């Protein structure tokens, strides 16, 4: 337990996190690319056509992992925001703020791919379905967080205000997840279950799960890169940043 507390405080140090993220980022990116190739090959080539939707269903190998990530990233942001608000930890603010654009991108991809699938299946690009509408609200919350963060001259004040908005916006997550249960909706129900049997054949399920892991490693790689760049700006006057700049000049 003491070791966990030690590493918790260690990673809360900007220079330690900068070095840690620098080591892990290329590995996360490489794993994400390898898994994406395997997952897309399995989903677009190996998996059979759906007996009702034909090949049109294959968009799920992008749509579903993106939808999962839109919720997962917001969950990570909520935890980081809680830590930032309660303990005022600088690194938690950085994680929350730098996760927001990535989460917004995944949410946007979810909505776009959903529309591309909805046109041939439902006959329309958009309908005010409970799942679609709550996912659109999630995108607006992401954009609101990004806008609020940049609305303050003092970035620490902006991050703190945005963290409060993140915590308020958490109420939308169960609405997105359970919308197909709580309301009569066009969107199909849950087919992949962590506990219990999934309502999808194994040949379609494994590429979907591979893509899920691919998007998570991509998120980690993207977050590490964004956080490292942000830390250099945030800590620009500190000795460790000046040392990095000095080392870069010496190498060039």
**For the segment 155-166, what is each residue's pLDDT rounded down to a tens digit?**
999 999 999 999
Q: State in Å, rounded, how far the first CA of the chain is from the last one.
A: 43
The pLDDT of residue 125 is 87
The pLDDT of residue 200 is 85
| Per-residue pLDDT tens over the stretch 80-129 | 999 999 999 999 999 999 999 999 999 999 999 999 988 888 888 888 88
Token match 């929350």: residue?
Answer: 96
The angle at the Cα of 29, spanning 159 to 242, to the nearest 5 degrees, equals 55
Ordered per-residue pLDDT tens for the chain, 252 residues: 566 666 666 778 999 999 999 999 999 999 999 999 999 999 999 999 887 788 888 999 999 999 999 999 999 999 999 999 999 999 999 999 999 999 999 999 999 999 998 888 888 888 888 899 999 999 999 999 999 999 999 999 999 999 999 999 999 999 998 887 777 776 666 676 665 667 788 899 999 999 999 999 999 999 999 999 999 999 998 999 989 888 888 887
The pLDDT of residue 196 is 61
Contact 102, 48 (CB under 8 A): no
For residue 82, give every residue at least 6 positions away whose Cβ sits within 8 Å of its Cβ, in sequence order, or none: 163, 167
Domains of the chain, with CATH numbers?
21-251 (1.20.120)
**95 by DSSP, 3-state: which?**
helix
| Backbone dihedral region for residue 165 (phi beyond 0: left; psi -120 to 50: alpha; all else: beta) | alpha
- For residue 54, what are the β-bridge partners? 50
Tell me the C-alpha distance between 226 and 107, whole Å.
Answer: 18
The angle at the Cα of 234, spanning 233 to 239, to the nearest 5 degrees, equals 85
Backbone torsions φ then ψ of 89, nearest 5 degrees: -80, 125
The pLDDT of residue 221 is 98
Among 164, 8, 163, 173, smallest CA distance to 75 is for 173
């Amino acid at each position: 337990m003491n070791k966990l507390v030690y590493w918790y405080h260690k990673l809360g140090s900007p220079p330690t996190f900068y070095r840690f993220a620098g080591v892990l980022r290329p590995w996360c990116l490489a794993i994400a690319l390898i898994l994406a190739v395997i997952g897309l090959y399995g989903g677009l080539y190996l998996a059979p056509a759906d007996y009702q939707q034909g090949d049109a269903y294959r968009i799920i190998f992008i749509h579903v992992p993106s939808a999962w990530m839109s919720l997962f990233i917001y969950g990570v942001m909520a935890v980081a925001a809680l830590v930032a608000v309660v303990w005022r930890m600088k690194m938690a603010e950085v994680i929350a703020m730098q996760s927001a654009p990535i989460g917004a991108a995944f949410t946007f991809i979810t909505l776009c791919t959903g529309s591309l699938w909805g046109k041939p299946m439902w006959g329309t690009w958009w309908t005010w379905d409970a799942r679609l509408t709550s996912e659109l609200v999630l995108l607006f919350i992401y954009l609101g967080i990004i806008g609020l963060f940049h609305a303050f001259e003092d970035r620490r004040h902006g991050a703190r205000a945005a963290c409060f908005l993140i915590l308020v916006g958490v109420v939308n997550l169960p609405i997105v997840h359970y919308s197909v249960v709580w309301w009569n909706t066009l969107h199909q129900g849950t087919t992949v279950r962590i506990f219990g049997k999934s309502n999808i054949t194994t040949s379609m399920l494994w590429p979907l799960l591979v893509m899920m892991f691919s998007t998570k490693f991509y998120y980690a790689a993207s977050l590490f890169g964004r956080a490292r760049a942000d830390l250099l700006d945030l800590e620009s006057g500190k000795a460790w940043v000046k040392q990095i700049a000095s080392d870069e000049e010496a190498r060039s």
